[in-house]
Structure 1
Amino acid sequence: MEHTNSSLPLPITALITTYNVEHCIEACLKSLSGWLDEILVVDSFSTDRTLEIVSRYTPNVLQHEYISQAVQCNWAIPRAKNEWVLLIDSDEVVSPELRQEIIELFRKEPDQDGYWIYRKNYLLGRHIKHSGWGKDSVLRLFKRDLARYPEKRVHAEISLEKTGVLKGKLEHHTVASISSWASKINTYSSLKAQDKYDKGFPFPYLQLLIRPPWRFFKDVFLRLGFLDGWRGFLIAGMSSFAEMLMAAKVIELKKTRSGGSK
């Protein structure tokens, strides 16, 4: 089946998970409006103006308790109306180039089950080209009935056999403020620590000593973070802090569950 610009909107559901994202959700929705058949928002009971803003763009809102991103997406994906799903984070914007590429792709039937999309990551208004953020790709355009996330608390990724790569970018404005970044690190480190604990995390005290400085060195020098200026050093510092928190929380879990104090 072929589609042309005159047959817009495309038979794709844009799926967004939200929670208290009034600062960024409108830019995301604007980039999706008018060319996709459905915008479906799955909200985790936001208490700010998120739902008020969403209501200007779509009536399709479901609410579901948040456990992890993988659980939330796996609950939401089957509820998409269309066979194809474009999964978007609330702090992401579809670039004009990516939008046009997807339109061109759907002029004929896509020949893959899913497509990887590269992200342009921004920190405090600047595009970060290094620091481990420069070659970031995510599998976000996929067939609804084939795609599910593995049961992993953080950084889970869909696995499909037949995938392609799109050239257009998602613009990812990942940090709203330093305070929100620190809060996110605290939350994610707890989830990651639980994953590590469940799978076994050998020599946690040694890892507490080694992982933070190694991550800082890796981001600044091996990943050329110094070329991103002070933002590169900030990324390295925050990533190092995240590693320290994660290892410390694994130790805390071991102590709590063993009833020990050493």
Structure 2
Amino acid sequence: MKTEASKISALLITFNEIEHIAAVLENLSFADEIIVVDSFSTDGTAEVAAKAEGVHLIQRPFVSFTDQKSFALEQAGHPWILFTDADERIPERLKEEILTTVGEVENPASAYYFRRTFMFKEEVLRFSGWQSDKNFRLWQKEQCHFDPERIVHETLIVNGPTAVLQNKLIHYSYSSYEDYKAKMVKYGQMKAREEFARGKRFLWPARWLRPWYKFFNHYFLRLGILDGKKGIIISYLNALGVHARYKELIRLRREGD
């Protein structure tokens, strides 16, 4: 029998996730509550979430990923947090491992990393830098919070030990070239704003050298070459994200001057 101490709040932030919303809510249905914080989607995402059984929908303007996720975290009513993205899925074996971890482990860690399998459309991307990818997805609410200084690629501050679950999360991040390109450019621009706010400066050659190094790192050093055409595409788009970051930093610096 599940105790109060082992109950899970599943959290999700969304904006125009109609492609994923129904499937991810069904996937998270084993949690004791599901909270969706939506940034006023225009594609029907909020309507689907509002009609889903056991889902609490909150609509709120988007400021940054950290701000939105911190707000969602504050709404959680249970001790354990399961925070996923709309394009992620929890396979059955990982679900069982999660329930065992929160319900049967005597001294659980404060937070758990999930390794992720990156899907390129319907195919697994085995290399290109994703082979070692992992993120915090499960943690104890009272022992963790998001770093307020990070606005993109948000960082979880953990007060206590961490561990890694054995089974992998499935990440359906790449649905099309244009979609992934827009995502990388957006992340790059948001990263630039974060760095500009911290007063970061850079040497001009970095604008050209860093994107090339990003491609070289993912395609050669991180073995993207073994992923064939998929590896070229992912490595290029990751490099494009770095280029977008420096372009935005230059724009912000000129406006500041």
TM range (shorter): over 0.9
Deviations 1:3-47 (A, max 9, x none): 4xxx89x610100111110001222112111x2111111111111
- Partner residue of 2:136? 139
* Between 121-130 and 103-112, the greater mean CA deviation after superposition: 103-112
Q: Secondary structure at the match of 1:168?
A: coil
Q: Secondary structure at the match of 2:146?
A: coil
| TM-score computed with the length of structure 1 as normaliser | 0.90
CA contact (8 A) 2:102 2:108 kept: no
- Partner residue of 1:37? 32
Deviations 1:32-75 (A, max 9, x none): 11x21111111111111212322224341111111111111111
Would the alpha carbon gap of residues 126 and 110 (structure 1) be closer, same or farther in structure 2, given more than 3 Å must change? farther
CA contact (8 A) 2:18 2:45 kept: yes
CA contact (8 A) 1:204 1:251 kept: no
1:117, distance to aligned residue in structure 2 (A)? 0.9
Report the Cα distance in structure 1 between the residues aligned to 2:124 and 2:193, rounded to whole angstroms: 32
Report the Cα distance in structure 1 between the residues aligned to 2:31 and 2:202, rounded to whole angstroms: 50
Report the Cα distance in structure 1 between the residues aligned to 2:103 and 2:217, rounded to whole angstroms: 43
1:112, distance to aligned residue in structure 2 (A)? 1.5
Task: Find 1:157's aligned residue among 148, 155, 158.
Answer: 155
Report the Cα distance in structure 2 between the residues aligned to 1:167 and 1:57, rounded to whole angstroms: 30
Query: How many residues are paired up?
Result: 252
Report the Cα distance in structure 2 between the residues aligned to 1:101 and 1:113, rounded to whole angstroms: 16
1:110, distance to aligned residue in structure 2 (A)? 5.0
Task: Find 1:101's aligned residue among 97, 100, 105.
Answer: 97
CA contact (8 A) 1:216 1:236 kept: yes
Deviations 1:115-165 (A, max 9, x none): 111111111221111111111111111111222111211112212121121
Match for 1:118: what amino acid?
Answer: R
Match for 1:62: what amino acid?
Answer: I
Deviations 1:183-238 (A, max 9, x none): 21222111111122233444342111211111111111100001111010101111
Please provide the CA RMSD for this pair.
Answer: 1.8
Q: Secondary structure at the match of 1:249?
A: helix
CA contact (8 A) 1:14 1:39 kept: yes
Report the Cα distance in structure 2 between the residues aligned to 1:131 and 1:27, rounded to whole angstroms: 27
Q: Secondary structure at the match of 1:145?
A: helix
Task: Find 2:82's aligned residue among 73, 86, 93.
Answer: 86
Report the Cα distance in structure 2 between the residues aligned to 1:100 and 1:53, rounded to whole angstroms: 27
Aligned pairs for 1:220-235 within 5 A:
220-235=219-234
Match for 1:208: what amino acid?
Answer: R
CA contact (8 A) 1:123 1:174 kept: yes
CA contact (8 A) 1:78 1:145 kept: no
Report the Cα distance in structure 1 between the residues aligned to 2:236 and 2:245, rounded to whole angstroms: 14
Q: Secondary structure at the match of 1:122?
A: strand
Q: Secondary structure at the match of 2:166?
A: strand
Would the alpha carbon gap of residues 221 and 184 (structure 1) be closer, same or farther in structure 2, given more than 3 Å must change? same
Match for 1:155: what amino acid?
Answer: H
- Partner residue of 2:15? 19
CA contact (8 A) 1:29 1:57 kept: no
> What is the percentage of aligned positions where both structures have the same residue?
30
* Between 106-115 and 46-55, the greater mean CA deviation after superposition: 106-115
* Between 48-57 and 123-132, the greater mean CA deviation after superposition: 48-57
Unaligned runs of 5+ in 2: none
CA contact (8 A) 2:211 2:242 kept: yes
1:166, distance to aligned residue in structure 2 (A)? 0.6
Report the Cα distance in structure 2 between the residues aligned to 1:249 and 1:50, rounded to whole angstroms: 30
Aligned pairs for 1:167-178 within 5 A:
167-178=166-177
- Partner residue of 1:190? 189
| TM-score computed with the length of structure 2 as normaliser | 0.92
CA contact (8 A) 1:204 1:250 kept: no
Match for 2:103: what amino acid?
Answer: R
Are positions 1:50 and 2:45 aligned together? Answer: yes
* Between 51-60 and 241-250, the greater mean CA deviation after superposition: 51-60
